[in-house]
Amino acid sequence: MLKKSFLIKHVQSQTFNLKEIEVSYIKNNTACFIAKIYSLKIEVSRLFTNFTLDEVVLTDKYFAFRRELVKKYIVEFDTNRLMHTFKINAGIPSNAEPLGGWEDVECGLRGHFVGHFLSACSKFAYADKDEFLKTKANEIVDIMDLCAKSNGYLSAFEEEKLDMLEFEENRNVWAPYYTLHKIMQGLVDCHIFLSSDKSLALAVNLAYYIHRRFENLSFWKIDGILRCTKVNPVNEFGGIGDSLYTLYDITGDSKILELANIFDRDYFIDNLEADNDVLENLHANTHLPMIIAVMHRYNISGEKKYKTAAVNFYDYLLGRTFANGNSSSKATAFIKGGVSEKSEHWGGFGTLGDALKGGESESCCAHNTERILERLFEWSASIEYLDHMEILKYNAILNSASDKTGLSQYHQPMGSCAVKKFSGLFDSFWCCTASGVEAMSEIQKNIWFKNEDAILLNAFISSKVVWNEKNAKITQLTEFPDNLTSTLMIEVAAPTKFKLMLKGEAVKAIKINSILIDLKKEHGYIVIDRVFNNKDKIEIEIDIFLHLVPLQGSEGLAAVMFGNVLLAQIGQTSPLKGITNRNINETFVKLQKDRLEFAVDDDQGNKVTFIPLYKVEEKEYTVYLDLTGTLSQNSSFSFAKDGSAAYEET
């Protein structure tokens, strides 16, 4: 049996080798599988990697606070209620109170939240060394083990739904492989972070089950059930390809690799490789996970096609990206009455002028875009990816979570007089409720990166990082963005030489032990290369300003950003004619020294207030402002539909 997961550490290495290992698991005196792990070597180099979740601790008042809210939610969540539909589907009696929303006993996606919950529970337990949550995760796996069929099938919905998908392809079934992905990923994460052999066994058994189903399907049948080109594709399959590649990383099983390859769809990937922009009218969060999977495939195989496709995809994505770093809005050719009119698709490149319908910027898309950016940055170390990650972190990921419950928005509207709508505790369970819970369990990532001789700071967020390879700790103390300074305190066991890197555009001055130093830039980074001593103190003066970000495809709409932090106007809106990048820093007045809050007079002489979007909870707000006084299309707001109503045939 595998005694310890190695996957957490392998992602930090440029190469790794595994000795041949046998893994066996017995259930009901029957061998479920015997998988062999053969020598495996990944050749793809990574210029920087993330720290593991237990190596970074947040100490700020925004990210850390919302993370703790979600952790409390997971700690207190009744496991019997959580697993009710799994038991019912397996014929096991359950008297628990059923959950509502997308986890309702009749909902096609029931079970999807459980997968995300298990992932989040495992990550919290690992990062915080929390034995209670480790026990809770293992209890969930134990119940899943009881609910699993002898053929490997494991879900909260009937196996026959897959028969229906294969028969009808895109009608009368709601995304079964999407839900199976969440369940599989939860099991994989429980193995990765908590070394659960049982969860690995269940995940592999489920993969074998799916492989057997696909073995019996023709080329065109597979193409039919996995071609997600219709508006509102109810056959979306989530990130199951990426999960299968991770299972392959763990097991080296060629059958699992073969199955993972099936989910890399040529209609999408081949066009991207050929530099064809085919994003228009596609469902955003169906295809973002497909990019994550092909990037994983490239890291395994080195097949250049998949790297080229991912890099080209990112260029096309930028033409559909809002100021908060996220995408998704209405399809160009929408069907009236469905969610497509308002939310979850991509329109044409650079044509967001009519996209502010109340359903733009689906939160799931932000989480998946962040994962794409992590991998792009690992490949190239380009600052543009770091900046995009920071924009997402504040304005689409932190912003997705309520400051009262930690639970997520589905959509993040950015038009006029918008209002945030957050998930309920037990009656919503949208896709973004689920991905949002998991996002808060790993919110400490992408602040710090490392390689063999350098540590890189991406965001001014109070935190502590442990760099085990250098036997060093760094504590960052900052009140950014309310205050424009940051202090780094160095702890080392002995004088240690390494490079400290920061993004150059955001830094005005640096002092080390109270002595001002010359700033040396390399490829846009400030690089401090020296021997660091214990208790060295590095003081950073941050240099950022207000600036406008136009809405792509609109002549007169623009958002206001303070560095990479997106601001929102509070209350009723009226035109702000005459505001430009030339005068905005003189026109906007900072109201308090220790808080990021600005005021400006509108065209009627009324004073309007701007605060960071992530600080807005219940008030009406506007992100994209009318700077001409001639626009009317941005004057109304209505929520996008959610749940199965968003997918009704029209």
Q: Write the pLDDT tens digit of every residue in 416-461.
A: 999 999 999 999 999 999 999 999 999 999 999 999 999 999 999 9
Check whether the bond before 481 is cis (ω within 30° of 0).
yes
Cα–Cα distance measured from residue 47 to residue 14, given in angstroms and rounded to the nearest whole number: 8
Secondary structure class of 46 (helix, strand, coil)? coil
pLDDT digits (tens, 9 = 90+) for 164-197: 999 988 778 999 999 999 999 999 999 999 999 9
Q: For 485, which DSSP code?
A: E
| Lookup result for tokens 């793809």 | 44
Q: Spell out the residues 6+ positions from residue 623 whose beta carbon is closer than 8 angstroms to its own.
A: 323, 324, 414, 415, 418, 559, 566, 568, 569, 613
Least confident span in 149-153, 329-333, 539-543, 587-591: 329-333
> How many residues in total does the chain contain?
650
Mean pLDDT, range 235-247, rounded to an integer: 97
Residue 61 buriedness (CB in 10 A; 0-12 / 13-18 / 19+):
exposed
State the average pLDDT over residues 90-100.
98
For residue range 264-297, what is the model confidence (pLDDT) as tens digits?
999 999 999 999 999 999 999 999 999 999 999 9
Distance (Å, rounded) from C-alpha 294 to C-alpha 289?
A: 9
Residue 646 has what pLDDT? 53
Of 289, 215, 295, residue with least CA distance to 255: 215
Mean pLDDT, rounded, for 13-24: 32
The pLDDT value given to residue 643: 55
Whole-Å CA distances, 79 to 101, 139, 485: 17, 8, 44
Q: Which residue has the higher pLDDT, 43 or 616?
A: 616
CATH fold label, 450-542: Immunoglobulin-like (2.60.40)
Q: Is the dihedral of CA 199, 204, 209, 213 positive or negative?
A: positive
Asked whether residue 610 carries a pLDDT value surpassing 50, the answer given is yes
Of 142-151, 203-212, 344-353, 641-650, where does mean pLDDT reach its minimum? 641-650
pLDDT value of position 629: 79
User: Taking the C-alpha atoms of 546, 547, 552 and 556 in order, what is their torsion angle to the nearest 10 degrees?
Assistant: 100
- Identify the band that residue 473 occupies on the pLDDT scale cut at 50, 70 and 90: very high
pLDDT at res. 631: 64
Assigned token pair, 346: 């991509």
Over range 309-338, report the average pLDDT.
90
| 3-state class percentages of the chain: helix first, strand second, coil last, to nearest 5 | 40, 20, 40
> Phi/psi at 223 (nearest 5 deg)?
-60, -40
pTM over 0.75: yes
Structure tokens at 611: 């605060």
Look at residue 645 in the predicted model and tell me its pLDDT: 57
More confident residue, 16 or 506: 506
Rounded to whole angstroms, the Cα distance separating 84 from 94 reads: 6
* Residue spans per domain, the chain: 1-43+77-254, 450-542, 546-626
**Span 299-320, pLDDT tens digits:** 999 999 999 999 999 999 999 9
User: C-alpha 48: how far from its chain's center?
Assistant: 19
Write the CA distances from 417 to 357, 437, 577, integer angstroms: 11, 27, 18
pLDDT averaged over every residue in the chain: 90
- What was the pLDDT predicted at 341? 59
pLDDT of residue 501: 97
The model's pLDDT over 338-373, given as tens digits with 9 standing for 90+, comes to 665 568 999 999 999 999 988 899 999 999 999 999
